[in-house]
Amino acid sequence: MAREVAGRPPEETLSLWKREQALLKGRVVDRDTEAWQRDPAFSGLRRVGGVDVSFVKGDSVSACASLVVLSYPELEVLYEDCRMVSLTAPYVSGFLAFREVPFLVDAVRRLREKEPHLMPQVLLVDGNGVLHHRGFGVACHLGILTDLPCIGVAKKLLQVDGLENNALHKEKIRLLQAGGDTFPLMGGSGAILGMALKSHDHSTKPLYVSVGHKMSLEAAVRLTRGCCRFRIPEPVRQADIRSRDYIRRTLGGPGPPRTRAGEEPEGAETRGGPQGRLRRAGR
């Protein structure tokens, strides 16, 4: 029988989470902090990391947290850490970090202790950074706690600050012609919260890139594009593939379904929930 995390936490817990987000938000650095980030060719960048949490089908407690490190620019896997974990916090839109980030921080800590020479110089995160209800998504949270440059790479638009997936937004997507084409995500406040990126010539859906920590938006977009063999940047794609394979090897069975290489598997826009999966909105 599938296990389920208890329902929505009490308001007191949500208030604590909001206060922690507000406190940590003040530490976010949204500019380039490393010389390689300012170099057009990213000279000096040798290792890029990706993280993912994949769920056992129909189970909102059991999951696999994965961290991979790839060489750059070759994008060959140098290191992987996959581990089954039991989540205790429920999914609440806008608070995904409190559910998943502790396990990802543990994976980074293990790498620092075991093979520090393989530490990534930047982490790509399947989720949002400053493009978030309170300007502090999972990519910001992970960046602050690990002190690593982080980039938020989401597959769907988080509709905050007046951003909407409306006819105008869809027309802007249609006008993206080639891999590397972008348009800014300007909220109603006038702030540019991220960029929509056509990551691959043959991709019909953009990625939504936002600052996580210790990197400018311009560099984050360029690097995300540089990491894409397919639609999804390779560090995130490999973390997802390997976490799903680890679940299959550990628990047996055919494993989660897959689609064409480079496209997200069925259900990849979701998080494990009581009825199987929950939306990932608000990462």
Distance of CA 158 to the CA centre of its chain: 13
* Pair of tokens at residue 211: 């600052």
| 269 vs 72: CA distance, rounded Å | 27
Higher pLDDT, 20 or 278: 20
Question: What is the pLDDT, as a whole number, of residue 108?
Answer: 98
Average pLDDT of span 189-201: 96
Percent of the chain topping pLDDT 70:
87
- The answer, yes or no, to whether residue 35 has pLDDT greater than 90, is yes
CA dist 153 to 97, 150, 171, 221, Å? 15, 10, 21, 9
CA dist 218 to 64, 178, 190, 222, 258, Å? 32, 18, 18, 6, 32
Q: How many helices (H) and strands (E) does the chain have?
A: 7, 10
pLDDT in tens, 87-128: 989 889 899 999 999 999 999 999 999 999 999 999 999 999
Sheet arrangement for strand 62-71 = 77-86, 62-71, 47-55, 123-125, 150-154, 207-213, 192-197, 182-186
Question: What is the pLDDT, as a whole number, of residue 253?
Answer: 55
Percent of the chain topping pLDDT 90:
82
* Pair of tokens at residue 241: 């593939």
Structural domain boundaries in the chain? 11-279
| 116 vs 27: CA distance, rounded Å | 24
| 58 vs 40: CA distance, rounded Å | 45
Q: Nearest-CA neighbor of 215 among 281, 122, 280, 83? A: 122
| 40 vs 51: CA distance, rounded Å | 25
pLDDT in tens, 52-71: 999 998 888 999 999 999 99
Question: What is the pLDDT, as a whole number, of residue 6?
Answer: 58
Phi and psi, residue 172, nearest 5°: -60, -40
pLDDT in tens, 205-231: 999 999 999 999 999 999 999 999 999
Question: What is the pLDDT, as a whole number, of residue 57?
Answer: 87
Phi-psi bin for 226: left (phi > 0), alpha (psi -120 to 50), beta? alpha
Average pLDDT of span 155-160: 95
- The answer, yes or no, to whether residue 267 has pLDDT greater than 50, is no
Q: Nearest-CA neighbor of 43 among 116, 136, 121, 110? A: 121
Topology of domain 11-279 in CATH is archaeoglobus fulgidus dsm 4304 fold (3.30.2170)
| 95 vs 283: CA distance, rounded Å | 7
What pTM value is reported for the model?
Answer: 0.88
| 200 vs 177: CA distance, rounded Å | 10
Higher pLDDT, 182 or 260: 182
Contact status, residue 198 vs residue 181, Cβ threshold 8 Å: yes
Question: What is the pLDDT, as a whole number, of residue 8?
Answer: 81
Buried b (16+ CB within 10 A) or exposed e, 157-175: bbebbebeeeeebeeebee
Question: What is the pLDDT, as a whole number, of residue 257?
Answer: 47
81: three-class secondary structure by DSSP = strand
- The answer, yes or no, to whether residue 165 has pLDDT greater than 80, is yes
- The answer, yes or no, to whether residue 3 has pLDDT greater than 80, is no
- The answer, yes or no, to whether residue 168 has pLDDT greater than 80, is yes
